[in-house]
Structure 1
Amino acid sequence: MAFPSYLVPNLWTLTLLTLLAASVQSNFIVFDDDPLQPVTQDETVSVGGTVTLTCRVAASDNSSLQWSNTAQQTLYFGEKRALRDNRIQLYRSTGTELSITIGNVQLSDEGEYTCSIFTMPVRTARATVTVLGVPGKPQISGYEDTVQEGGKVTLTCTSSGSKPPAKLRWYRNQEELTGRPDVVETNPDEATYTVISELTLTVGRSDDNTLIGCAVDHPSLSSGEKWTEQPIRVLFTPDVTIQPQNDLPREGEKFIIQCIGNGNPKPTSYVWQRKDGELPLLAKVDGSFLLFEMLNKSDNGVYLCQADNGIGKMQGEYTLLVQDLTDDSNNLFPTSFYLPSSSPTSDSPSPSLSPDSFPTLMSTTSGSSASGSLPASSPPTIFSFSVPYPSDLTFIPSFSSSSLSTSSLSPSPPPVKVLSTSLSNSLFPDLSMSPEPHPPSSDSSPSSSSSSFSPPPASVTPPSVAPPSSDSLTPSSVTIRLNGVYSFTGK
């Protein structure tokens, strides 16, 4: 039968496709059309591990399955052990399956294992066992001693026993570094490899106490399973800072500053200097400390400290600015009162009294007056105190306008003795005032006196001063003998 000429190329194409499909099918171990054909699979195991070899058939005709090793020695025939090797054990045996295990696998166990079924004809299948050589823990060499800042260090990492060859990776504090390409050497005694890698680093002070790590990357290991670290010590000059004992140095107080040098090694020598001058006489140097026994404004300045650790010298500075002591002059209340002794003219100090003892004294206004009398036996009392006045007030003694005015009052007038006062009743309502202008003497007797003020003697002439402005303080202190009280005129 002859085919038309236009069909001939198509027939050739169909034939080639059929042959190609048959060729590809022959490379697979699965034969769907033969239920008695054994089926196996390849296995990979690490040295020292256990591998399981399984052989199956789709159907059983009561024929036995058998496993043989790479030397074609029978390991198991059905349920019967044929080779006396305790590492090989029966795992499962049925009419359609034969599975065995090989424990403590060695590199010599690598190769092809054969499963056979004794039918007519005998059918076989092969399984390849690949044994991985487990690499040893990496070792780092090349580091012998400390390295000075700016120097170089070369480290070598070595790992042996891997199969296939392992890959080495470098790390610095968990950050991966790039070393030189690995060098692979074959071990003469067994089919394993030794891998060598080098890393060269230029170190700085930040690398001091840094951990340089080398890790092995291999199929037989989990990530990071085998890892070695090498700490690096770097020598460097100190960083110098000066720290004060407190942040507010006050005049008259003790003060300490410390020179702190962070270097490797630690500084062993400290030199203190004062910029543009000598150290104060009361300043004492004690190693890294500079002590001021009592601060003074003359101690102000810039102080320098130089620290030396044998690798180098570095200098730090501190600016000292001495502060004034706390100023209490803004307190409007008297700080002390002076009471007389047995003598009526005595000005000896007495225990201080609280401002609360004289509440009406602070509220006295211009033109205020009171009258009264003390017993004749009670000598007049002299109170002497200083009252800092606010900037918007001016206090002056209440004198006669003909003898003294606010425009001629000196900042600090002398004490003026007044024979009587008009404030006694308002300040001490429960006391009676004596009309005597002076304490009684041996040749005088008590007599009454008016409550009006007497002007100072003509011989007492306060020095003239310029009229104070509205925000000036005039006077800063007043001392007046008024039978135990004071009279102020607020302005």
Structure 2
Amino acid sequence: MHFVLEQYAAFSKCLFVLSIRILLLVPAGFLVRSQGDYQSNNKVMDNITVRQGEAVFLRCEQGNAVTRTAWLNRSSILYAGEDKWSVDPRVSLVTLNQEEFTIKIDNVDMTDEGQYVCAVQTSSRPRTTSVHILVQVPPKIINLSGDIVVNEGSNVTLMCQASGKPEPSISWKFLSTSVDLVSDDEFLEIPSISRQRAGTYECTAVNNIDTDLQTLDIIVNYAPAVTEGRDVGVAPGQYGVLECEADAVPEADFEWYKNDRRIFTGLDDLNIINTGSLSQLTFFNVSEGDYGNYTCVAINKIGNSNTTFFLYGEDGNTGVRLRRSFHCGS
């Protein structure tokens, strides 16, 4: 007898759920009548807006006359009374009594968005309460141009795509100047880029939920530009240095020449020290034969540039320029 009662109760629940499903499949505008108008007992609640990752509570008012109750989503039954039909571990029963029937969905995601229906069977007629869940998603940049290396004068297009709900707006900032850049969409156009536009760019995606940002770097290659050479006077037997500075990306390599003859470090009591953008030609003990014209050439893969120096003799005590019998360029 106990087994038969259990089977009957299970059959009764299934019959109730089936009837609710049939009720929910009735096309909009079709009047269903049985012991009164069913549609008059159908209630639509305000939308529930919840952020992705949060929990949402679905509450349905009960009553003393309620005999069966169930929560359904768009395609399946979540709970029929105390019996959980959903296999989703995020769904749980919170309250079930004469006053209310409340379930909870943890860690809400976009797949949870849609309509939910609480179906109630009373002694006289069924009724439903429906609610629509809207899931808001914080912005996330999903596709950003990588770091870029270009030659000066090239046209550059940066791309930044983001997901989110509501759809996020995109803005760009050139961090080297902290100036917002004009861009109506996810693309930023930089025509004929100059060396002054090299640096870090920041893309920001914003909606009314949150903000996401990422950065990328642009390296602009350009040919060396050397600082104009300065003539240097050194007394015989003294220490002397010629300095050549070049602005270039990538950093320049340096070559030194006296007339048309290339100079190598360690030869003729000379030394060449290159440090970043600076090259120094050092004379440890200036002699008569060291005086004359010198050329510094800065070279990288984009181009080259040069400047000339004149090393002349100077009286070590008075600083007066000495007369020499040699000719410039000899």
State the TM-score bracket (shorter-chain normalisation): 0.5 to 0.7
The one-letter amino acid paired with 1:214 is C
**Match for residue 155 of structure 1?**
158
Once residues 142 and 84 of structure 1 are traced to their aligned partners in structure 2, the CA distance between those partners, rounded to angstroms, is 44
* 8 A contact 1:241–1:317 mirrored in 2: no
**Match for residue 216 of structure 1?**
205
Q: Which has the higher contact order (CA 8 A, sep 6+)?
A: 2
Are 2:216 and 1:230 equivalent residues in the alignment? yes
Aligned residue for 1:233, secondary structure, equals strand
Alpha-carbon deviation of 1:53?
1.8
Query: Structure 1 residues 76, 271: closer, same or farther in 2, change over 3 A?
Result: same
Superposition TM-score, scaled by structure 2 size: 0.57
Matches within 5 A, 1:398-437: none
Aligned match for 1:266, one of 246, 251, 267: 251
Alpha-carbon deviation of 1:130?
1.2
Superposition TM-score, scaled by structure 1 size: 0.41
**Match for residue 203 of structure 1?**
193
Aligned residue for 2:211, secondary structure, equals coil
Deviates more, 1:247-256 or 1:108-117: 247-256
* 8 A contact 2:139–2:211 mirrored in 1: no
**Match for residue 280 of structure 2?**
289
**Match for residue 240 of structure 1?**
226
**Match for residue 374 of structure 1?**
none
Query: Structure 1 residues 65, 252: closer, same or farther in 2, change over 3 A?
Result: farther
Are 2:72 and 1:69 equivalent residues in the alignment? yes
1:64-111: CA deviations, max 9, x gaps?
794533448653355x13523333201234543332112454544322
Alpha-carbon deviation of 1:260?
2.7
1:406-432: CA deviations, max 9, x gaps?
xxxxxxxxxxxxxxxxxxxxxxxxxxx
Query: Structure 1 residues 272, 166: closer, same or farther in 2, change over 3 A?
Result: same
**Match for residue 324 of structure 1?**
316
Once residues 257 and 67 of structure 2 are traced to their aligned partners in structure 1, the CA distance between those partners, rounded to angstroms, is 97
Once residues 159 and 302 of structure 2 are traced to their aligned partners in structure 1, the CA distance between those partners, rounded to angstroms, is 28
More strand by share: 2
5+ residue gaps, structure 2: 1-41, 260-267, 274-278, 320-330
**Match for residue 305 of structure 2?**
314
The one-letter amino acid paired with 1:52 is F
5+ residue gaps, structure 1: 1-36, 183-196, 275-281, 328-491
Matches within 5 A, 1:68-147: 68-71=71-74, 74-76=77-79, 80-86=82-88, 87-103=90-106, 105-115=108-118, 124-132=128-136, 137-141=141-145, 146-147=149-150
Are 2:210 and 1:171 equivalent residues in the alignment? no
Identity of aligned residues (%): 25
Q: State the Cα RMSD in Å.
A: 4.7
